Amino acid sequence: MTEATVERLRLFLIESPIKMARLQGVGNVKGTVKRVLIELTSSDGVVGWGEAAPWEVFTGTPEAAFAALDIYLRPIVLGKPVRRIRALMAELDRALVGHAEAKVAIEMALLDIVGKSSGLSVADLLGGRVRDTIPLSFSIADPDFAADLERMRRMVPDGNVIYKVKTGVKPHREDLDHLEAIRKEFGDTVDLRVDYNQALAPFGAIKILRDVEEFAPTFIEQPVPRKFLDVMAQLTAALETPVLADESCFDRRDMMEVVRREAADAVSIKLMKAGGLFEAQAIMAIADIAGLPGYGGTLWEGGIGLAAGTQLIAATPGISLGCEFYMPHHVLTEDVLEERVANRGGHVVVPDGPGLGIRVSETSVRANARVLAEA
């Protein structure tokens, strides 16, 4: 039997309008977000989709990811056996430094093909499900806090109880007022978290965070810049509230260092940081050994990338703190899927079809595409 190979690769640089501005601590977002979609077709006619969603202040630019895929990785991918994913990913790492988002897009497209060919979901390919739904976290990041509070009034009755407040962008007193307003209106019925996105300087951070602890957050995410890992360790030791590492942990080497220095109590697992679903599971395996739970973080992915994220979390026991996969339902004005990944009762429902379990709308892709490359 002839082994199927990658026969065609198409790329789309798309730009999608968003419903609200986002204040993130570093790199605010307004108007639109860009990302790269990849479509692979195997020699036996099976199509797989992947998504690269860099953020210029976090990992890189969509334009750079597009160029990496089109110029440097395309010649390596074409003609390769679709089932030999680990071997191909190792080859991509040898051929090109960085560009984790471009590489994970290829990996998820290959897994989509293999899953469709075998009738298995990506979660099955990753070891099988440990969960069918994932608690959804919505980020409070609108410059207009009153608008976010009104969203909460609509969402909480529907079962959406996890909210992560982006802090450190506005004055500290204003952050405290917002946390107080949330607790005053919703009390302990909501699971409140805070995320500084590296916004605090090391000097004085402990005093600010002790003020925040008064509102009983579940965790405090990345309070200081990633390079200050010793400060992260000091804060982790000093605070009652767990500290979660995001920008301080991109790969296995980072995870080992976080564990060695006891620089966090939990970790954000993002496919765009890790560069692969297999790599994300490897990072989480190290965290498991140290007893650090994982949280499903995102950058600005749409439905394809987030479908891959749900499949990863479904098959990875340690990612137990929920996910922030709210973009397609709550922020994007239009996604590229024929049917969005379901949200129900404050949870993301993991697609149960083969591969990623999604259907991509060619019409929507082309309507949002700014650049197209195919061969």
Q: Which amino acid is at 173?
A: R
Q: What is the dihedral of CA 50, 273, 169, 17, to 10 degrees?
A: -10
Facing residues of 245 across strands?
267
152 within domain boundaries: yes
Domain annotation covers residue 197: yes
**Angle, CA 156 vertex, CA 151 and CA 161 arms, to 5°:** 110
pLDDT exceeds 80 at position 117: yes
Supply the CATH number for residue 323's domain. 3.20.20.120
Could you tell me if 135 and 90 lie in one domain? no
Whether residue 343 is contained in a domain is answered as yes
Q: How confident is the model at residue 334 (pLDDT cuts 50, 70, 90)?
A: confident
User: Which tokens hold the place of 258?
Assistant: 């976080």
Is residue 365 in a domain? yes
Q: What own/partner pairs with CB < 8 Å and gap ≥ 24 does 71-74 have?
A: 72/96, 73/99, 73/102, 73/103, 73/106, 74/9, 74/375
Domain annotation covers residue 155: yes
Count CA within 13 A, CB hemisphere, residue 287.
Answer: 31
Over residues 263-318, the pLDDT tens digits come to 999 999 999 999 999 999 999 999 999 999 999 999 889 999 999 999 999 999 99
Mean pLDDT of 103-118: 98
CATH of the domain at 64: 3.30.390.10
Check whether residue 135 and residue 112 sit in a common domain.
no
Residue 72 sits in the same domain as residue 221: no
Assess whether 107 and 179 both reside in one domain: no
Structure tokens at 344: 């129900």
Identity of residue 242 = P
Q: Which residue has the higher pLDDT, 335 or 159?
A: 159
Say whether 166 is catalytic. Answer: yes
Q: Please, are residues 156 and 182 in contact by the beta-carbon 8 Å criterion? A: no
- Residue % of the chain over a pLDDT of 70: 96
User: How many CB atoms within 10 Å of residue 359?
Assistant: 12
Using pLDDT thresholds of 50, 70 and 90, give the confidence band for residue 55. Answer: confident
pLDDT tens by residue, 247-260 = 999 999 999 999 99
Does the pLDDT value for residue 23 go beyond 80?
no
CA distance 193 to 370: 36
Residues 55 and 72 in one domain: yes
Residues 336 and 225 in one domain: yes
Higher pLDDT, 327 or 178: 178
Q: What is the pLDDT of residue 213?
A: 98
Residues 6+ apart with CB under 8 A from 200: 168, 208, 209, 223, 224
What is the C-alpha separation between 371 and 295, in angstroms, rounded?
33
pLDDT attached to residue 299: 85
> Do 22 and 154 lie in a common domain?
no
Both 58 and 98 in one domain: the answer is yes
Confidence of residue 1 (pLDDT cuts 50, 70, 90): low
Question: Rounded CA gap, 199 and 209, in Å?
Answer: 12
Question: Above 70 in pLDDT, residue 343?
Answer: yes
Residue 363 half-sphere exposure toward CB, CA atoms < 13 A: 2
Residue 25 has pLDDT above 60, yes or no: no
Lookup: tokens for 77: 């991918």
Angle at 219 between CA 216 and CA 225, to 5 degrees: 125
Residue 371 has pLDDT above 80, yes or no: no
Among 137, 85, 167, which residue's Cα sits nearest to residue 296? Answer: 137
What is the pLDDT averaged over residues 31-55? Answer: 94
What's the whole-number mean pLDDT along residues 120-128? Answer: 98
Mean pLDDT of 80-106: 97
Determine whether 30 is an active site residue.
Answer: no
Comparing CA positions, the residue from 6, 13, 17 lying closest to residue 37 is 13
My answer on whether 257 and 286 are in the same domain is yes
Residue 188 lies in a domain: yes
Q: Which of 116, 164, 166, 273 is catalytic?
A: 166
* Predicted local distance difference test score (pLDDT) of residue 85: 98
Using the 8-state DSSP alphabet, how is residue 131 labeled? Answer: -
Please indicate, yes or no, if residue 170 is contained in any of the structural domains. yes
Counting Cα atoms < 13 Å in the Cβ hemisphere of 9 gives 26
Residue 213 lies in domain:
125-349
Number of domains in the chain: 2
CB 223 within 8 A of CB 243: yes
Element (H, E) at 369: strand 369-374
Is 262 domain-assigned? yes
Confidence class for position 92, pLDDT limits 50, 70, 90: very high
- The pLDDT assigned to 28 comes to 64
Residue 236 has pLDDT above 60, yes or no: yes
- Single out the catalytic residue among 107, 247, 279, 324: 324
Q: Which has more pLDDT, 272 or 330? A: 272
List the alpha helices (DSSP H) in 74-167.
Answer: 74-77, 85-95, 100-118, 122-125, 145-155
**Residue 9 Cα to chain centre, angstroms:** 24
Asked if residue 24 has pLDDT above 80, the reply is no
Contact 130, 317 (CB under 8 A): yes
How far apart are alpha carbons 183 and 187 in whole angstroms?
A: 4
Residues 103, 247: one domain? no
Residue type, 110: L
Q: Are residues 90 and 181 in the same domain?
A: no
Instruction: Give yes or no: residues 233 and 200 share one domain.
Output: yes
| Mean pLDDT, rounded, of the chain | 94
